[in-house]
A = this chain, B = another copy of it.
Amino acid sequence: MKTVFVKDVNKLTSGESITLMGWAQEIRVMKNIGFIILRDSSGLIQATFRKENKHFADLTNITRESVVSITGKIPEKVMSKLGMEIVVDSMEILNRAEVPLPVGIVDEVEVDFDTRFNNRFMDLRKPEHHRIFIIKSALLWGIRNYLMNKGFTEVQTPKTVSAATEGGAELFGVKYFEKDIFLNQSPQLYKEMLIASGIEKVFEVGPAFRAEEHNTPRHLNEFTSIDIEMAFSNHEDAMKMLEESIAAGVENFLNNVPEAKEVSLVKEKPVTPFPRITYSECVKILKQEGVDQKDGEDLNNEGLKIIGKRFENFYFIINWPTTVRPFYTATLDDNKNFTKSYDLQFKEIELTSGAQRVHNPDELKSRIEEKGLNSDNFEFYLRTFRYGMPPHAGWGLGLERLTQVILGLNNIREASLFPRDRTRVFP
């Protein structure tokens, strides 16, 4: 049905007859002339109605945000401030919008968060909200493209699971016929099982579910997780894959999304390799700055703010203490108190955790028990390590968090079409 998008009108020659379809964002009628500002997903154009046009009288009846199909010609001299104009020959109203609108599109009125998200379909018509998801899609495409070119296989692992994957309690329960099972909080154990299965480089992009009670501007209870795992690889290999993927993703949206450069905090393809700083160096800096930071404990927000000021945007904190990392994290060859692990940071915000993993089944079992977990519950996972598990490394990256920090959004919900949080499961 639709063949011409607003953004392509300027590529056509004047006098050509075209049909545009979109939303009537504004309607203005004067004595001898009338206008509709027509919006489609690609931009805005002025549709001009001369008084002699049979639809001129209809203009007073069209409601804002109605869907219209307009056929007309591009004038020789464009008079519209928008730089795009069509002089209307005929018009069809495809769907009439009710009044009043639940949320305005162009009005400067402040709308509260709940009203916006209860009416998300209208809220997303605002170009600045719409654009977030165009950028998110382009960012993901750049990342995927990089991974596919590096020989990765895209996989789909189950989201309904019979056991917790990381031993945490933050799980949503599912009634699965007669069984009580869970929504998966991470594909971690599955992607490791695929490493054991000989698919040497796997990645997955899918939902992850966390039944975390807290309600913050940086967490969602359902988010999009980009996960990779690589056989015969160490943490350095995985870090390289991460920084190069992100650089490719940023490059893709900067090159392909109009106005992306204006709204992104990252104005050009990030330089790789990203800077690295060890956890121990961070602790030393923080102690010098007078922060109450204990050795072997996680860095708190105050500390991360101080460290983050030293870097322009992306950087890695490496070699985290064994105490604060999951049981499957490999330790340094020369010091069991520290791990072959890393966090990718953007200023003060953590984006990713990754590591080389333990690949020896006996060591893995001990590490599970050291964390106070019952290794019997992990038998389905442990046994995949007993029949030839290669060394491997990987990471998991939250797509909404990445989009949030790159675009400098105050709240991660802005980067989710229909966010799920402690209280919201609607629409």
Spell out A's residues near B (CB within 8 Å). Answer: 1-2, 21, 23-24, 39-41, 65-67, 69, 94-98, 101-102, 120-125, 130, 133-134, 137, 140-141, 144, 148, 153-162, 172-177, 179, 181, 183, 190, 193-194, 196-201, 205-207, 209, 211, 213, 221-222, 224, 231-234, 237, 359-360, 380-381, 383-391, 399, 416-418, 420, 422-423, 425-427
Contacts and interface: CB of A to CB of B under 8 A. Distances in A.
Contacts of A207: 156, 158-159, 206-207
A199 B97 contact: no
A387 B417 contact: no
A209 B426 contact: no
A41 B387 CA distance: 16
Contact of A232 (B2, B24, B198, B359): B2
Nearest to A390: B67
A425 B380 CA distance: 12
In order of increasing CB-CB distance, the 6 nearest A-B pairs are A2-B232, A124-B197, A41-B200, A65-B388, A97-B388, A121-B196
A121 B381 CA distance: 10
Contacts of A387: 65, 97-98, 101-102, 121-122
Given A198-B23, A360-B95, A388-B65, A425 B172 contact: no
Contact of A160 (B162, B209, B381): B209
A415 to B, nearest CB: 10
Interface centre among A173, A176, A222, by most chain B C-beta atoms within 10 angstroms, is A176
A199 B388 contact: no
Contacts of A160: 172, 183, 209, 221-222, 420, 425
B67 A388 contact: yes
Nearest to A40: B200
A65 B193 CA distance: 15
Given A1-B232, A97-B388, A121-B197, A172 B172 contact: no
A134 B153 CA distance: 6
Given A137-B155, A160-B425, A162-B425, A194 B124 contact: yes
When all copies of this chain in the complex are counted, the total is 2
A277 to B, nearest CB: 23
Contacts of A124: 194, 197-199
Given A101-B387, A124-B194, A162-B427, 20 more contacts: A1-B237, A1-B391, A21-B231, A40-B198, A41-B201, A95-B359, A97-B387, A98-B387, A120-B197, A121-B197, A122-B387, A133-B155, A134-B153, A134-B199, A156-B417, A173-B175, A175-B175, A177-B213, A177-B422, A205-B205
A2 B195 CA distance: 14
Nearest to A189: B427
Contacts of A120: 193, 197
Nearest to A173: B175
A420 B158 contact: yes
A213 to B, nearest CB: 8
